[in-house]
Amino acid sequence: MKILVTGGSGFVGYRLCEHFISGGHDVEYTYLSHDCSIPGAQGKKLDVSESKQVSALSVGKYDAIIHCAALANVDLCEKDHALARRHNVDATDNMLLLAKGQDAVFVYVSTSHVFPASASNRAYTEDDIPSLSLAPNYYGRTKLEGEILVRGSGIPYLVLRIDQPYYWKKEWHKDNTVTRTIAKLQAGGTATEVVDWFNCPTFVPAFCELALKLLSRGKQGVFNAAGPDYVSRFDWAVKVAEIFGHPKESVLPVSAASFNLSAARPNILLDSGRAYSVAGVEHVGLDSGLRQMQKEWGRGETGA
């Protein structure tokens, strides 16, 4: 397949590119401010919120367009609605227009934040239809607007909702709970994580395999694509400490109320079993994901 990945310089997009390349696919990616090089792929600078720049791309013929680029900083989205709308809604519209011209499958990487907090820990499945009026924060609202544009576009699509993606990061990527905890504990300090934020952490290599398998099997539609566990950030960090050989007491609990953040962080339980089963891909839980990372660490990975 000839695949275009927007946001290939981003934390998730970078690994998607690597995975598609290792599967023998022809990959092009875009970046905005981080001119990174991804061996085996061709990168180009592109602001996906600029319709003229996007339409100029249509010289190539893509089988799939993976739209990963977004403003994923929830607090910045809350503070600057216009910016969030430009990067998350207008940009999606631009990319959909391009996909229509290319006859390509459109893969939209979305988020659990399209839903409000789970009531009584009830899991959301793909049968639950999120509503704009209930979006928990502005980021979630703009990502849901993007989903709605994709669903109404009339072209073949996959919407894949993830939550707290984790794996090794490149220097320019922001930390995730795993890399942050490892970096703090390796430096001999303590790590602090929130006890009352719950997530379904998504192991990025499993997500990349899921995306490729769904595409190559010709599957379409909306899928929850997060990990199988529902844990607090604190319990997650304690697991990291244990698996990477640090005392669990080196992780200290903190409550969300001690931060003064702009955006709400709802506790959202996603049932993502359907996607992994349809794709025939292992739904990798925290223990397995962290153990794989620990082995890679032993082989010299320094991504924290």
- Asked if residue 72 binds ligand NAP (CB under 6 A), the reply is yes
Binding-site size for ligand NAP (CB under 6 A) equals: 30
- Asked if residue 199 binds ligand NAP (CB under 6 A), the reply is no
Which of 3, 4, 5, 10 binds ligand NAP (CB under 6 A)? It is 10
Instruction: Write out the DSSP string of 156-216.
Output: -EEEEEE-SEES---TTSPP-HHHHHHHHHHTT--EEEESS-EE--EEHHHHHHHHHHHHH
Burial of 299 (0-12, 13-18, 19+ CB in 10 A): exposed
**Cα-Cα-Cα-Cα dihedral of 108, 112, 113, 117, to 10°?**
160
The residue range among 27-35, 189-197, 252-260, 268-276 that interacts with ligand NAP, by the rule CB under 6 A, is 27-35
Nearer to ligand NAP, 246 or 284 (CB): 284
Which of 85, 87, 180, 265 binds ligand NAP (CB under 6 A)? It is 87
For 223-262, give the secondary structure using H, E and C.
EECCCCCCEEHHHHHHHHHHHCCCCHHHEEEECHHHCCCC
Q: Which residue has the tokens 């506790």?
A: 267
Q: What is the smallest separation between the CB atom of 247 and ligand NAP, expressed in angstroms?
A: 28
Q: Which residue has the tokens 């794996």?
A: 167
Q: Which residue is nearest to ligand NAP (CB)?
A: 10
Q: Which residue has the tokens 């319990």?
A: 235
Q: Report the site for ligand NAP in 241-260 (rule: CB under 6 A).
A: none
Q: What is the smallest separation between the CB atom of 261 and ligand NAP, expressed in angstroms?
A: 14
Nearer to ligand NAP, 11 or 246 (CB): 11
- Asked if residue 137 binds ligand NAP (CB under 6 A), the reply is no
Contact criterion met (CB below 8 Å) for 124 and 118: yes
Cα separation, 138 vs 77, in Å, equals 6
The residue range among 40-48, 56-64, 235-243, 248-256 that interacts with ligand NAP, by the rule CB under 6 A, is 40-48
Q: What is the smallest separation between the CB atom of 74 and ligand NAP, expressed in angstroms?
A: 8
Q: Give the burial string for 151-175 (b: 16+ CB within 10 Å, else e).
A: eebeebbbbbbbbbbbbbbeeebee
- Asked if residue 31 binds ligand NAP (CB under 6 A), the reply is yes
Q: What is the smallest separation between the CB atom of 33 and ligand NAP, expressed in angstroms?
A: 3
- Asked if residue 71 binds ligand NAP (CB under 6 A), the reply is yes
- Asked if residue 70 binds ligand NAP (CB under 6 A), the reply is yes
Which of 85, 173, 233, 239 binds ligand NAP (CB under 6 A)? It is 173
Contact criterion met (CB below 8 Å) for 143 and 114: yes
Reference 125, options 221, 232, 231, 12; nearest CA is 221
Nearer to ligand NAP, 210 or 246 (CB): 210
Q: What is the smallest separation between the CB atom of 48 and ligand NAP, expressed in angstroms?
A: 4
Residues that bind ligand NAP (CB under 6 A): 7, 9-13, 30-34, 46-49, 68-72, 87, 91, 109, 111, 143, 162-165, 173
